[in-house]
Amino acid sequence: MAVRRFFASRKRQQNKATWPIDPSTTTPPSGWSGWPDKKRFAFLLSHDVETQIGYDKISDLVDLEESLGFRSVINFIPEGQYRVSENLVQNLKNRGFEVGVHGLHHDGKLYNSQEGFNHRAKKINQYLKIWDATGFRSPLMHHNLDWLHKLNITYDSSTFDTDPFEPQPDGLGTIFPKWIPRPNGEHSPGSGEQKPEARERISDSRPQSSNLDGYVELPYTLPQDSTLYLLLKEQTIDIWKTKIAWLAQHGGMAFLNVHPDYIDFDGKGTRNQYPAPYYANFLKHIKETYTNQYWQATPNGVAQFFVNRKERPQSL
Ligand SMILES: [Zn+2]
């Protein structure tokens, strides 16, 4: 970690013109006419659950969000170190939270070969179906947007507007959702190898847009908690505040990823955890400073809005 911190502070210096704000990312998508209800910006929350420690803190986390009127997506690793309970998934959904899929394992090897990816994609599609999930995020924010067409998803969120601290640091270059069309001639995962009756079942239980000719990419646009508090050792929420003011000014999508694993809810000052009030205070800041100015939705809600918007150009 000490070595990572040393390189991180150097990277921060080298990238100060484009992180945490990259001024070149503000162009809206073609035909864009704004967020629902004329809100200034969209506000989305996601959580990647990395370990059993994080899994055990989900209820504290969602209670906090619910008490402040927020909802999020909880991204689970299907075959990681914890077992995901069906009851928990159902409970989260009943309360208005969304469930997403975070890789298959968390070993950083998802994209090592196309063959390996395709093999894992079949299993990932099974978990998407079991959890009735529409969204995906890769471990370590690795991304190969062409290969992701093998997944039966409405949206992916493995990219970012700007984040030089990630192992694959190329950003999507926008603070808006982006449509990723399926290359010509490729079949959708629902229409290829599966038998007709299997396809029937899937389309019954999933939102219509899962049969789209592509998917929506939702880049996260606020620095991750792990970057700010574990890697850069920030002691305040000033970077989040500055960035969201800028995102609001440009009418973009404020999308934050926070890991329950790293939040210290007990105030014990545990190593590699940061105080829960950082996160709570940021949510309160948004609620109080931007009252009625933001559209709070889960990522699936944003992706559905983006594909269904009336002004969506035919050529998308
Ligand atoms: Zn992860």
Segment 100-139, tens digit of pLDDT? 999 999 999 999 999 999 999 999 999 999 999 999 999 9
Ligand 1 mean position, distance from CA 25 (Å):
25
Distance CA 117, CA 113 (A): 6
Q: What is the mean pLDDT of residues 275-282?
A: 98
pLDDT confidence bin for 201, thresholds 50/70/90:
very low
Q: What is the mean pLDDT of residues 88-94?
A: 98
CA 183, distance to chain mean position in Å, is 23
CB 98 within 8 A of CB 73: yes
Ligand 1 mean position, distance from CA 32 (Å):
32
DSSP secondary-structure letter at 85? P
DSSP secondary-structure letter at 84? P
**SS3 for 4?**
helix
Ligand 1 mean position, distance from CA 73 (Å):
14
Q: What is the mean pLDDT of residues 144-154?
A: 97
Ligand 1 mean position, distance from CA 174 (Å):
22
CB 119 within 8 A of CB 130: no
SS (H, E, C) 240-286: HHHHHHHHHHCCCEEEEECCHHHEECCCCCCCCCEEHHHHHHHHHHH
Ligand 1 mean position, distance from CA 248 (Å):
27
- 48-52, 73-77, 179-183, range with the lowest pLDDT: 179-183
Ligand 1 mean position, distance from CA 169 (Å):
16
Q: What is the mean pLDDT of residues 59-85?
A: 98
Distance CA 79, CA 91 (A): 20
Return the pLDDT at 194. Answer: 42
pLDDT confidence bin for 204, thresholds 50/70/90:
very low
Ligand 1 mean position, distance from CA 53 (Å):
13
Q: What is the mean pLDDT of residues 89-94?
A: 98
Higher pLDDT, 179 or 198: 179
pLDDT confidence bin for 212, thresholds 50/70/90:
confident
Return the pLDDT at 309. Answer: 86
Output phi, psi for 246, to 5 deg.
Answer: -70, -40
Kindly state the tokens that stand for 205.
């239980």
Kindly state the tokens that stand for 123.
């299993």
Q: Is the pLDDT of residue 206 over 60?
A: no
Ligand 1 mean position, distance from CA 39 (Å):
31
Give the closest residue to 220 by CA, choosing from 263, 171, 186: 171
Distance CA 223, CA 96 (A): 25
Q: What is the mean pLDDT of residues 149-172?
A: 97
Question: What's the distance, Cα to Cα, between the start and end of the chain in Å?
Answer: 43
Element (H or E) spanning 217, and its range?
strand 214-217
pTM: 0.91
Ligand 1 mean position, distance from CA 299 (Å):
17
Domain boundaries, the chain: 18-308
18-308 CATH, one of 3.40.50.150, 3.20.20.20, 3.20.20.370, 3.90.550.10:
3.20.20.370
DSSP secondary-structure letter at 16? T
Angle between helices 238-249 and 276-289 (to 10 degrees): 30
Ligand 1 mean position, distance from CA 226 (Å):
10
Residue appearing with tokens 């105080």: 275
Ligand 1 mean position, distance from CA 16 (Å):
25
pLDDT confidence bin for 183, thresholds 50/70/90:
confident
Return the pLDDT at 60. Answer: 98
Ligand 1 mean position, distance from CA 141 (Å):
8
How large a percentage of the chain has pLDDT more than 90? 84
Ligand 1 mean position, distance from CA 283 (Å):
22
pLDDT confidence bin for 59, thresholds 50/70/90:
very high
* Burial group, residue 126, by CB count within 10 angstroms (0-12, 13-18, 19+): middle
Return the pLDDT at 211. Answer: 62
**Which residue(s) pair with 255 in the sheet?**
44
CB 217 within 8 A of CB 161: no
pLDDT confidence bin for 186, thresholds 50/70/90:
confident
Return the pLDDT at 190. Answer: 56
Distance CA 94, CA 96 (A): 6
Ligand 1 mean position, distance from CA 139 (Å):
4
pLDDT confidence bin for 1, thresholds 50/70/90:
confident
Quickly count: other Cβ atoms within 10 Å of residue 116's Cβ. Answer: 12
Kindly state the tokens that stand for 304.
């559905």
Return the pLDDT at 202. Answer: 36
**SS3 for 8?**
helix
Return the pLDDT at 92. Answer: 98
Ligand 1 mean position, distance from CA 50 (Å):
5
